[in-house]
Structure 1
Amino acid sequence: MPPWPNVPLSHSRTARTSLGFLVLALVCLAFSDIAITTANPWQDLFRFFRGVVTPDFFSSEGLATALLRTVSFAFVGVTIGSICGFGLALIYRIRLVRTFCAFIRAIHELFWALIFLQFFGFHPLTGVLAIAIPYSGIFAKVYSEILDEADPEPRTLLPPGVDALSAFVYARIPDCWDQLRTYTSYRLECGLRSSAILGFVGLPTLGFFLESSFSQGHYSEAGAVLLLFYGLIATIPLWVRPRLLPFYIVAAPFFLGDGLPIVWGNIKRFFTEDIVPAPLREGVGGDDLWPWLSELVIDQALPGIWNTLLLTQMALVATGVVALVAFPLISRHFGNRVSRTGGHILLVIARSTPEYILAYILLQLWGPSMLPAVVALSLHNGGIIGHLIGRQSSGLHLRPDAPHGLTRYGYELVPRLYPSFLAFLFYRWEIIMRETAILGILGIYTLGFYVDSAIQNIQFDKAMILILVTALLNIGIDSLSRRIRGRLALQTMPTC
């Protein structure tokens, strides 16, 4: 029997779960460093916005080349990732394959880039593999779900004796093609964001110029980089056409640049020496391995896990708040055509700006604390979920005598959209965790901070263990998210 009269059991579970996550976020807030430490944060913020509205597109040489390489890295990485992911999707039912895919997608693109930089250096292969490897795991998971949900009816219409390959190509693929194409297009947009932030580790993409401009206080140059990136994302439907895709895919590798030659001896040394734990590498003996590992866990892994979890839970709830506030901006049940157009522009900017870039900007303006990270994560992910929920709300039909204003919002739309809202939010939980960990590179004491510090100190053995901890933490959150969605029977479509 539900704890509240006349309330379905599933609804009471949803309410308790939501309240539990809200309380947990408030508890995390009490243990977190949330402060603005710069002397003139609003003055700096005003200077930044003034730079955005007065962009200088001609001050930085090579900006056009960086834009071209951002696109090239995205196309090559996403193409390789989609091909490998499709192959893995065909055998995704094998437990070992699922585990492998979960592991490679749990490691952020920037972590992969930091690994490959150690033996490939600033070679195009570093950027391509940093995108292709985690995207392979993501594509494998999503493609397998799409293929599993295909309608079996077309298979029964084929003539008797048709082999399995022909049945797959002529019956299942056509049924799934629209979903496969749509999701691949979405991952290309994600690939452009990933490609841009690779510039923060030194690769010649737009992120490199953004970091250089901000570090020197040239806000007009930074504004130009951001506007170029927004224009690139916003115009994807105009320049990414199906008939042009073969040309892009063939041409992209030729615009990646050359980079320095690969020293293959560095690869051998990395796997045979650099990532071997120091006590074993130095021949001290296995007896010293446990104290070395214990010190790493106590001094770095546990504080990193603690701060990563704190930041993730606050960002998760803040994301939900942003999404619930944002979806009416584009819903046909509120406002007018002009206001909804403005809402669409705001949400496009929010969801198109990578969390890493937004957190970097806010850290420069507000100083080092968890506040810039929470705001960056919640704005980006809240913009994504708000866009999805807003589109769903526009498809709902209300009674002619339905109330208006806040009553319509609170009593008509939110109750019907809330299950799908929670489903989207829990889907983003793992992604928020991945981004939270990587934001440590910017100076926030999450796991990424300790990974980056270990790499800077040429302690690759410690860095690899911390990256492994990050991956396992993400896998754990993904598993917990699936269990919660299953227990609450959450679906991404609104209720009738």
Structure 2
Amino acid sequence: MFSYPTVRTSLIFLAIAVAGLLVADIAITTANPWQDLGRFFLGVATPNFFSTEGLATALLRTIAFAFVGVTLGSFFGFLLSLVYRFLPVRIFCAFIRAIHELFWALIFLQFFGFHPLTGVLAIAIPYAGIFAKVYSEILEEADQEPTRLLPPGTGAIAAFLYAKIPDCWVQLRTYTAYRLECGLRSSAILGFVGLPTLGFYLESSFSMGMYSDAGAMLILFYVLIATMPLWLKPKLLPIYILGAPFFLGEGLPIVWGNVERFFTEDIIPAPLRDGEGLAGLMPWLGDVMVTEALPGVWNTVVLTQIALVATGILSLLAFPLISKHFGGPVRRTSGHVLLVIARSTPEYILAYILLQLWGPSMLPAVVALALHNGGIIGHLIGRQSNTIHLRPDAPHGFARYTWELVPRLYRPFLAFLFYRWEIIMRETAILGILGIYTLGFYVDSAIQNIRFDRAMLLILITALLNIGVDALGRYIRRKLALQTMPTC
């Protein structure tokens, strides 16, 4: 049900988003945006699956990077979850998961080059931090009764394996499967920085106006995600995990001298590297903060807040598409298809497509973030609405939506929305690589100009900003007595 604190918080965030719209760069700058959008949809409707050589290989490598990266991330994340209660571990995990996979890829590209290790580590490292957090919360919320029923003298390891793990196994397995789906999306967008996954061919097709080719790649990706329950069988997992490394490709050999130089020279601030000492460091820091960090942080925060509220509005509009309380099975099936497409399309790919069609501004980023995250939250809230039993005399239509369902779903809806706040900010920062003036734009520019010291400082600022938003989101959920970790 609605309460004064939840309504007040919602209105505050709505007001911030409206204020953000007044200062944001929201515009369509292309000459014929709707004509280009029509050409794109025509390309999706007439896909060409046989024009691009190497498409099957790119699809296999997309799957391979996801499996290897998620496997390593889940393994080390589980180990970290066992000691997650210690503050240094929590800080370490918060830091590594606050840096987006594409930022990690850009870092590793500077010294590993186009080697499979770049893509694997770019997924595995942030995912280890995510797994550590979620696994620890699942283990903490496990029922303690089985542990108390064990015979006296049972060791801690035996109690953990025989009492706690069986009780948490379904949740651990379900979340890991979901994270694998996320890994497939992460793997696909690694192609935008040059790795041989699906995103590489998608970007090439769009840049040449080959919309039928791009449509074929998107359809293949949707089919891959939608059919996961069919091909992702527990009995086949060992085969996938053992076979995936053989499909990563070889890439270029690693020059270990570049690795050493990157850590000992390239990322050292220029004044310290040139012998100017602390006297030259402060002006250097001031220049980076004024010309790059502060504008990047401002645009990142503004875009995040607009996208957060747009996500919330779209989620509330989308959940009836799959709710049993509205319409019949045909409409719900159509709704499921629409939400699967929305939540399966990575924000980065969707923003890239819209930027090509509408031109550079914040609008493509807002729409991309809202569609993807709104599809996720709308799907979860729609599923939760199906657990609600209405009275036989309950109203129908709009009255059912406004008076019966939304008040009952509003608190879990807010829990999901604030839980995704930090994720939306991570994506907002990385969208700068596409030319939007968020922190990612300045990071990418620094790397392009071989100023790795500036790039690393900006990535550090991005991580701290994400950590701060994550902490603020948790604080708001606690103050509103929402679930700390929403589940559905």
* TM-score for the superposition, normalised by structure 1: 0.97
Structure 1 counterpart of 2:229: 237
Q: Is the Cα–Cα contact under 8 Å of residues 423 and 490 in structure 1 kept in the other structure?
A: yes
- Is 1:486 the counterpart of 2:475? The answer is no
CA 1:25–1:263 in 2, change beyond 3 Å: closer, same or farther? same
Deviation at 1:285, TM superposition (A): 2.6
Q: Percent identity?
A: 77
Q: CA offsets per residue over residues 105-135 of structure 1, 9 Å max, x none? A: 0000000000000000000000000000000
Q: Map Cα deviations across residues 223-273 of structure 1 (whole Å, 9 max, x no partner).
A: 011001001000000000000000000000010000000000101000000
Report how far residue 213 of structure 1 moved: 0.1
Distance in 2, Cα, partners of 1:156 & 1:436 = 46
Please, which of 104, 119, 130 is the counterpart of residue 138 of structure 1? 130
Give distance in 2, aligned partners of 1:456 and 1:333: 53
Q: Quick one: distance in 2 between partners of 1:221 and 1:286? A: 54
Q: Deviations over 1:281-338 (max 9, x none)?
A: 1112320110011000000000000000000000000000000000000000001110
Q: CA RMSD in A?
A: 1.1
**Residue 92 of structure 1: aligned partner:** 84
Matches within 5 A, 1:176-195: 176-195=168-187
Give secondary structure in 2 for the equivalent of 1:204. coil
Partner of 2:56: 64
CA distance in 1 between counterparts of 2:193 and 2:220 reads: 20
Q: What displacement does 1:480 show?
A: 0.3
Equivalent residue in structure 2 for 1:445, among 398, 414, 437:
437
Of residues 249, 252, 258, the one that matches 1:260 is 252
Structure 2 match to 1:379: 371
Note the 1:424-443 alignment, pairs <5 A: 424-443=416-435
* Aligned residue among 189, 198, 201 for 1:209: 201
Q: Which amino acid aligns with 2:137?
A: E
CA distance in 1, matches of 2:212, 2:486: 42
Structure 2 match to 1:149: 141
Out of 310, 319, 333, which is 1:318 matched to? 310
Query: CA 1:494 to 1:354, structure 2 compared with 1: closer, same or farther past 3 Å?
Result: closer
Aligned to 2:213: 221
What is aligned with 1:165? 157
Tell me which residue corresponds to 1:30: 22
Retained in 1: the 8 A contact 2:418–2:477? yes
C-alpha displacement of 1:493: 7.0
Matched residues in 1 for 2:375 and 2:454: separation? 36
Q: Answer yes or no: is 1:396 the counterpart of 2:367.
A: no
Letter aligned with residue 230 of structure 1: Y
Contact 2:48 2:212 in 1 (8 A): yes
Distance change (3 Å), C-alpha of 1:366 and 1:14: same
Give the distance between the partners of 1:166 and 1:487, measured in 2 at CA: 38
Work out whether 1:110 is the aligned partner of 2:102: yes
Runs of 4+ in 1 over 3 A off after TM superposition: 492-495
Alignment partners' CA distance in 2, 1:72 and 1:298 = 42
| Aligned residues of 1:417 and 1:494 also touching (Cα < 8 A) | no
CA contact (8 A) 1:416 1:494 kept: no
Asked if the contact 1:419/1:494 (under 8 Å) is kept, the reply is no
Contact 2:93 / 2:130 at 8 angstroms: preserved in 1?
A: yes
2:31 aligns with 39
Deviation at 1:465, TM superposition (A): 0.1
Counterpart-to-counterpart distance in 1, 2:130 and 2:150: 32
Equivalent residue, structure 2, for 1:4: none
Task: Give the structure 1 partner of residue 273 of structure 2.
Answer: 281
- 1:418 aligned onto 2:418: no
Tell me the alpha carbon deviations over residues 411-436 of structure 1, each in whole angstroms, 9 at most, x when there is no partner. 00000000000000000000000000
Q: Take 2:394 and 2:57, find their aligned partners in 1: how far apart are those partners?
A: 54
| CA distance 1:494–1:229, shift in 2 (3 Å) | closer
Distance 1:285 1:385 in 2: 50
Deviation of 1:162 after TM superposition, in Å, equals 1.1
Report the Cα distance in structure 1 between the residues aligned to 2:276 and 2:87, rounded to whole angstroms: 38
Q: Is the 8 A contact 1:150 1:175 kept in 2?
A: yes
Distance 1:312 1:125 in 2: 31
Runs of 5+ consecutive residues of structure 2 not aligned to the other structure:
none
Q: Does structure 2 retain, via aligned residues, the 8 Å contact 1:197–1:207?
A: yes
> When the two structures are aligned, how many residues end up with a matched partner?
487
User: How many angstroms apart in 1 are the aligned matches of 2:276 and 2:251?
Assistant: 38
Q: CA deviation at 1:39?
A: 0.3
CA distance in 2 between counterparts of 1:422 and 1:451 reads 32
After superposition, what is the alpha-carbon deviation per residue over 1:446-473, rounded to whole angstroms, capped at 9, x for unaligned? 0000000000000000000000000000
Gaps of 5+ in 1: 1-7
User: Which residue number in structure 1 is paired with residue 289 of structure 2?
Assistant: 297
In structure 1, how many angstroms separate the alpha carbons of the residues matched to 2:264 and 2:187? 30
1:353 equivalenced with 2:351 (yes/no): no
1:48-63 correspondence runs (5 A): 48-63=40-55
Rounded to whole Å, the distance in 1 between the matches of 2:287 and 2:76 is 39
CA distance in 2, matches of 1:494, 1:241: 23
Give, in angstroms, the shift of residue 494 of structure 1: 10
8 Å Cα contact 2:416/2:486 also seen in 1 = no
- Residue 61 of structure 2 aligns with an amino acid whose one-letter code is R
In 2, Cα distance between the equivalents of 1:158 and 1:308? 51
The question of whether the paired residues in 1 share the 8 Å contact of 2:269 and 2:453 is answered with yes
State the distance in 2 between where 1:404 and 1:58 align. 49
Give the corresponding residue for 2:448.
456
Conserved? CA contact 1:392–1:494, under 8 Å: no
